[in-house]
Structure 1
Amino acid sequence: MTDQIQRFLFDDTNVRGEIVTLEQAYAEVLDRHDYPPVVNRLLGELLAAVALLTDTVKLDGTLSIEVRGQGALSLLMAESNPGGELRAIARLAEDAPMPGEATGFRELLGEGQIMITLDPREGHRYQGIVALDRDSLAECLADYFAQSEQLPTRLWLAADGQRAGGLLLQRIPDESRNQDSDAWERSVLLADTVKAEELLGLAPLEVLRRLYHEETVRVFEPKPLRFGCTCSRERIAGSLLTLGEAELRDVLAEHGTIDTQCHFCHSRYVFSEQDIEALLAGADEPPPVLH
């Protein structure tokens, strides 16, 4: 199983972790788009990150990470849910020069921010924001946890255009389990030695064995991951309603139908004049908006 996430913990400590590997889901995201190699790599890191965060916060709903910048890359977005479905897109700024393979994270995105949205099936939506003022996506996400969750958290992310992988460590506040006061510092110090080629080329258990062969690590059953898009005709219809009646009628007058496409999976949805009239008639209770 090449696409999976595996949870683990260190016995008698308050340190837990997760390790993720992606290949097929990552390939399906890239196959639907034509991004420069440097963007493909960063999109792979984001896919690994969103899978790690979804499992970490144990959300019964959707978690999305949206990176907005003012550089050549204006948008990166990835989304995950408890069913192990992942999707992601990127958007280059108009008229921006094509970024080279050696373009760095901050150079690629410029000034901006990361928005992490937790959208539970029940309860209120939560959004946290952190600035793009670090040299890597992993460092920015660690800042998010420090500011919003107040839990020491570290991530190690890697991608090469074919595979993506990541490792997450977190210190939880349950001191009653901690019989090893140096466990957090030691586990992070060892994780800092992991190489990108190990995260991408080795099985998760082998990575953990190499890093923590002198530690007592309890490993849980892996969870499979896959590409999956949550778009539907109803959600696209909800998005169309946000354009307003006047604009919808203008488009119909010019084209006769409204032909739209999901940005994530490229599924095509066509709405006739009769479809739009029915939508507008029921606009008092619009469908959910596609984010």
Structure 2
Amino acid sequence: MAYQDTTQRFLFENADVRGELVALETSYREVLAKHDYPEPVRELLGQMLAAAVLLSTTIKYDGLLILQATSSGPVSTLMVECASDQAVRGIARYDVDMTDGSLADLMPGGILAITVDPQEGQRYQGIVSLDGATLAECLNGYFENSEQLPTRFRLQADGRSARGLLLQALPADRQRDPEQRAATWEHLNILADTLTAEELLSLDNQTILRRLFHEEDVRLFDHQAVRFECSCSMERSGNALVSLGRDDAMALLDEQNGEIEIDCQFCNTRYLFDQARLEALFHSAQEHARRLH
């Protein structure tokens, strides 16, 4: 594969349909390396990572896109974040005694929250019922039942690579007739459905498009790099302690024998705060508040 961690857009020149192909290897493995996940969780987390990147390409935002799936089953939580600059991270919570199974077995009665958290403006959230056979099927159902543009997902992950294919209808431009647009949409999806899981995981983007749409006029755009990056930091951890208030933070310091440990759930980085560092945090916060007034 020419590019290991990328998302790449393509466009059908004679139809109002666009597509996106995402390939994750290094970033996916870095997410998995932080925790010893069983194989079913590794696969689900890979599909979630690919889905988050694909979804991020369908909207314009500066901030975070967050996918959080929860259930009362063996996999209680899957959470993935994709920043607008294509930095990703993810985490899962699961029953240590879990066994293999379908999405319905692993996350029965589950729901998926899709949240767009922009740096400016209001947050937006959509809720997806995890009642399909696969995550891709659940996302397809969500878009079919919403008022958004028709969108179809295909997702695969095997613990080493995570891949995804998206097709999305565009506003009427090249094809104005509704029946013609519907027929083209159905035709392109029938072609996309012929792609096997093995082909999606192993073939490069050019080969996939040639394999599926060799009779169509398809334009492939430049790839965009995707990377693993955790947004945790000493500063953010310190701000969380300051938000507790001085009395509660000092009480927590006493409870933890003079040193507060804050662990990032995503990357396992540990941040330590002793009394001197805690005093410095609150002194800095007071100085900042004084300057503002």
Superposed displacement of residue 285, structure 1? 8.7
The C-alpha deviation readout for 1:136-160, integer Å capped at 9, x for no partner, is: 1112222333445522111000000
Contact map agreement 1:9 1:15 (CA 8 A) in 2? yes
The residue that corresponds to 1:208 in the other structure is 209
Identity %: 46
Aligned with 1:52: secondary structure?
Answer: helix
CA distance in 2, matches of 1:100, 1:3: 30
Q: Amino acid of the residue matched to residue 35 of structure 1?
A: Y
Which of the numbers 143, 164, 167 marks the counterpart of 2:165? 167
The residue that corresponds to 2:97 in the other structure is 98
CA distance in 2, matches of 1:241, 1:193: 55
Q: Amino acid of the residue matched to residue 197 of structure 2?
A: A
The residue that corresponds to 1:84 in the other structure is 86
Superposed displacement of residue 280, structure 1? 5.1
Q: Amino acid of the residue matched to residue 141 of structure 2?
A: D
Seen in structure 2, the aligned counterparts of structure 1 residues 18 and 284 have a Cα distance that, compared at 3 Å, is farther
Contact map agreement 1:45 1:158 (CA 8 A) in 2? yes
Greater Rg over alpha carbons, structure: 2
Aligned with 2:160: secondary structure?
Answer: coil
Number of aligned residue pairs: 281
Superposed displacement of residue 233, structure 1? 1.9
Aligned with 1:190: secondary structure?
Answer: helix
The residue that corresponds to 1:228 in the other structure is 229
Superposed displacement of residue 238, structure 1? 3.5
Q: Does 1:219 align with 2:217?
A: no
Aligned with 2:173: secondary structure?
Answer: helix
Where does the alignment leave 5 or more consecutive residues of structure 1 unmatched? 287-291
CA distance in 2, matches of 1:217, 1:268: 48
Superposed displacement of residue 202, structure 1? 0.6
CA distance in 1, matches of 2:147, 2:61: 14
Seen in structure 2, the aligned counterparts of structure 1 residues 251 and 112 have a Cα distance that, compared at 3 Å, is same
Aligned with 1:57: secondary structure?
Answer: coil
Superposed displacement of residue 123, structure 1? 1.4
Contact map agreement 1:241 1:283 (CA 8 A) in 2? no
Report the RMSD for the aligned CA atoms in angstroms.
2.1
CA distance in 1, matches of 2:167, 2:224: 18
The residue that corresponds to 1:176 in the other structure is 173
CA distance in 2, matches of 1:276, 1:140: 46
The residue that corresponds to 1:112 in the other structure is 110
Aligned with 2:97: secondary structure?
Answer: coil
Seen in structure 2, the aligned counterparts of structure 1 residues 231 and 97 have a Cα distance that, compared at 3 Å, is closer
Alignment of 1:10-25 (within 5 A): 10-25=12-27
CA distance in 2, matches of 1:118, 1:136: 23
